[in-house]
Amino acid sequence: MTVITRRDEALRYTQLFRDRGASMAIFCTAAHWNTEAILLAAQRIAEKYNLSEVPLAVAMTFTYPYMPQAARITSSGDPRAGFISNMEHLKALCDGPDAPYSRVVVLPHLDHADPKRDRWALTEGLPYLATVMFDAQKYPLEDNLVWTAEYVQTYGDQVLVEGIIEQLSVSGGRSQAVQRDSYVEKAVDYMAHTGVDLLVADLGTEQQSDAVGGVRYLAERAQALTASLGDARLVLHGTSSLTPDQMTGLAGDGVIRVNMWTRIVREAGQYAAQKLIERQDAIARGEFEAAESRQYLADSIEAAAGIMVEVMELLGYPQLGT
């Protein structure tokens, strides 16, 4: 249907998920095939549940050290080129009634944007975006509070802003979340001080996890945060570490947006690699369709879309039609 780049529209779609008791999917991308897989999954949800439109966020990091997705989109490694090419790709695929994914509403999201390193994306890139994660988690709390509040004051009339109070756990021990008994009180104060719309909360998950399960999702913390904030304003990262059972009911805990990438891309790659092995004899014979890289990408798209359909169902997308 369209690509959303206005704050008022982003607010409207966010409220739609609150009203329906569902969570909006934030699916990340680092490749054009990955972007199309997201749209394919959303279109299939629309068709399966007879929805006139399916809103979701398509996200990219810029130069995030753990995973610089915009830099990975083109072989040049230039994050600006990757960022812009992906945004134009989105428009071509879903913007307008004749687009191939015409029932998908995309809210482009800038993920893990560092206030210093990613300044271009946080400012010049805003016309392409609906939402931004202003990520000052690695800096002292005093700087985080000041810089985040300044960003909201300057640019918060253009986009919805997610904030983050302290470092989340990343697989491999590259960063470690700080668990505090006073987390809820501190988080509520952080939101009041900075004026952010949404909070990327530490709920016990692990980012870039190499396995599903093995973490304890902190449902009680999410519920306490939501009760203190008054409505659903939480964003969950590290969803790849959760089992399907753990994902069920996130909206009821106040998680309004759910960010996911690692598991989808890992398992899609495993599937495509297995299909590649199965046609190795045809590749050795030089059969064009077997050997061309397009087939590997098509297999990746199919597998990734299948996973995302399942995730969207767990997040409550069928309820959007009620």
State the CATH number of the domain containing residue 61.
3.20.20.70
- Alpha carbons 38 and 140: distance in angstroms, whole number: 36
Phi, psi of 260 (to 5 degrees): -150, 140
Q: Are 132 and 161 in contact (CB under 8 A)?
A: yes
pTM: 0.93
CA proximity to 277, closest of 295, 301, 265: 295
Q: Are 58 and 108 in contact (CB under 8 A)?
A: yes
Q: Are 179 and 210 in contact (CB under 8 A)?
A: no
Q: What is the pLDDT of residues 67-111, one digit of tens each?
A: 999 999 999 999 999 999 999 999 999 998 899 999 999 999 999
Region 3-15: mean pLDDT is 97
pLDDT above 80 for 170: no
Region 41-63: mean pLDDT is 97
- SS3 of residue 260 by DSSP: strand
Confidence tier at 176 by pLDDT (50, 70, 90): very low
Q: Are 212 and 235 in contact (CB under 8 A)?
A: no
Number of domains in the chain: 1
Q: Which helix (H) or strand (E) holds 132?
A: strand 131-134
Burial of 154: CB neighbours in 10 Å, binned 0-12, 13-18, 19+ = exposed
Q: How high is the pLDDT of residue 322?
A: 72
Cα 317–Cα 270–Cα 172 angle in degrees, nearest 5: 85
User: What is the residue range of 155's domain?
Assistant: 2-321
